[in-house]
Amino acid sequence: MIPIIVAYLLCLWLTASAASRGQGHLVVLAGLLALGVGLLAFARGRRSVLYALSFLMLLAAIAAALFEGALRLRPGLLGGQVANVAYTGYHWQRGGIYALDPHVGPLMKPNVRRPMYWAGRWWTHEANRRGFRGPCPDRTDVVFLGDSMIYGHGVENEATAPSRFAQITGLGTANLGQQGTSLPQSWLIFERKGVPLRPRAVLVCAHPTDVEDAITIYGPQMLARWLASAPGSFEPMAREEYQPRARFSPARLWLEEIALPLYAGGVPGALWRCWRAGLLRAGPGDARGDERFVPVEVEEPFGAPEAAPGSDERLGWEAQKRALLEIRRAAAAIGARVVVFDLGYPRPFSRAVEGAAAELGLAYSPAGRRVLERALAGEDLYLSRDGHWNPAGCDAIARELAPLGAAAPRIP
């Protein structure tokens, strides 16, 4: 009986991992209950129940293994949002690039290397022992803060904006960009990973989604409490869904330590969510990459600074300004200069960022505006059908920012 039980449990592990990346522990529980029923029947002389359950579990495991093998060999079998969810590494389940921090929420894990995918595009994510892309120095000259534009979504490490900046200027550069982060999260990442590097300059990239991202991670009540506190006295807490799970909770153990990191595990949930949202697509069409991206909402209004006091939009915007203040405070403590830049669009947002930098006594660089104008003039600077800088775009922004390297002398 022991070999049968061991084989059953191994097959259940594989099947549950393929059935759901997030809820596989429920599949395990159901499988264990079924095993208990089979063992009880076996003890009463009805061996066929256990044998039948074991056979069915074996078939389910074989099907899961074949499906996973097909996805590994032919990733183009999936497309659209289903492929994005199945292949992505932007998650904190086992195999993902994040762990959950009580204050930052998703925070990049150290020593992780894995393929990444989005919209038909593959690249390699490799985080060093400090938990960010690129070299891992004990000291550096320049630190970059920002979201996926700085992280380098869709491009290899050597092509990211911070990497190109380092190659052009010869300065030590740390890429603390992280996909989907707001400026409050960037400040906390700087406190944890950037300040110990003792940089001489901090380049902060603001993104128009930062306002919404701050509300998503922290919620309006937490942001209001943080804004009412004295600088440096309080770190906002992330919403409950972005908090680390209890150490011995079944969900956490499954998500972070037990489940196999299978592509197949993301497919059932993705199919369900995409079906509900009407986003189902089939086929490998995302991989064509034949639709060039050019910003079209260049003059889209940005009303957050004038929104009603206490509204989510206004709170999100005030949180961005407070984050810049906190970055300035932390940088001043190590003698570093802070420079703020943005994507250049929407133009009202870019002007608001420049105004916020002036209000806080921070330097502002129009580098993003210059790159935008080059793109509008015909240069191909964005990933096709995406909007993030492609390698040429990363090089362009790095060259526009390169003169700022004069403010960060080399470390002896």
Give me the pLDDT at residue 250, please. 83
Number of structural domains found in the chain? 2
Give me the pLDDT at residue 270, please. 84
| 373 within a domain of the structure (yes/no) | yes
Residue predicted with more confidence, 199 or 409: 199
CA distance 319 to 211: 8
Residue 358 is encoded by which pair of tokens? 């002036």
Give me the pLDDT at residue 245, please. 86
Question: Look-up: residue for tokens 């998503």?
Answer: 216
Instruction: Kindly report the average pLDDT of the chain as a whole number.
Output: 92
Q: Are residues 96 and 40 in the same domain?
A: no
Give the predicted TM-score (pTM) of the model. 0.91
Q: Are residues 56 and 110 in the same domain?
A: no
CA distance 181 to 155: 18
| 99 within a domain of the structure (yes/no) | yes
Question: Which of 73, 102, 135 lies at the terminal end of a domain, its last residue?
Answer: 73
Q: What is the largest CA-CA distance in the chain?
A: 82
Give me the pLDDT at residue 290, please. 57
The answer to whether 284 touches 178, Cβ cutoff 8 Å, is: no
- Tens of pLDDT, residue by residue over 100-112, are 999 999 999 999 9
The answer to whether 409 touches 200, Cβ cutoff 8 Å, is: yes
| 123 within a domain of the structure (yes/no) | yes
| 79 within a domain of the structure (yes/no) | no
Q: Are residues 247 and 133 in the same domain?
A: yes
User: Considering Cα of 343, then 344, then 347, then 349, what sign does the dihedral take?
Assistant: positive
Give me the pLDDT at residue 353, please. 98
Question: Which of 73, 100, 118 lies at the terminal end of a domain, its last residue?
Answer: 73
Q: Which domain holds residue 182?
A: 86-407
**DSSP sequence for 267-304:** HHHHHHHHHHHT---BSSGGG---S------TT----G
Mean pLDDT score, 280-286: 49
Q: Are residues 391 and 338 in the same domain?
A: yes
Question: Which of 25, 42, 73 lies at the terminal end of a domain, its last residue?
Answer: 73
- Number of C-beta neighbours around residue 294 at 10 A: 14
CA distance 330 to 6: 54
Q: Are residues 96 and 170 in the same domain?
A: yes
Mean pLDDT score, 326-340: 97
Q: Are residues 53 and 121 in the same domain?
A: no
The answer to whether 203 touches 404, Cβ cutoff 8 Å, is: yes
- Number of C-beta neighbours around residue 91 at 10 A: 16
Mean pLDDT score, 299-319: 95
pLDDT interval class at 88 (50, 70, 90): very high
Q: Are residues 137 and 61 in the same domain?
A: no
Mean pLDDT score, 179-203: 97
Angle between helix 210-218 and helix 312-333 axes, rounded to 10 deg: 90
| 78 within a domain of the structure (yes/no) | no
| 81 within a domain of the structure (yes/no) | no
Q: Are residues 183 and 207 in the same domain?
A: yes
CA distance 393 to 410: 26
pLDDT interval class at 406 (50, 70, 90): low
Give me the pLDDT at residue 59, please. 97
User: Which amino acid appears at position 110 of this protein?
Assistant: P
Q: Are residues 110 and 53 in the same domain?
A: no
Q: Are residues 203 and 334 in the same domain?
A: yes
Strands 112-118 and 121-127: antiparallel
Domain at 282, CATH number: 3.40.50.1110
| 201 within a domain of the structure (yes/no) | yes
Q: Are residues 325 and 399 in the same domain?
A: yes
Q: Which long-range contacts (CB under 8 A, 24 or more apart) does 54-57 make?
A: 54/4, 54/7, 54/8, 54/11, 57/8, 57/11, 57/12, 57/15, 57/31
Q: Are residues 69 and 152 in the same domain?
A: no
| 80 within a domain of the structure (yes/no) | no
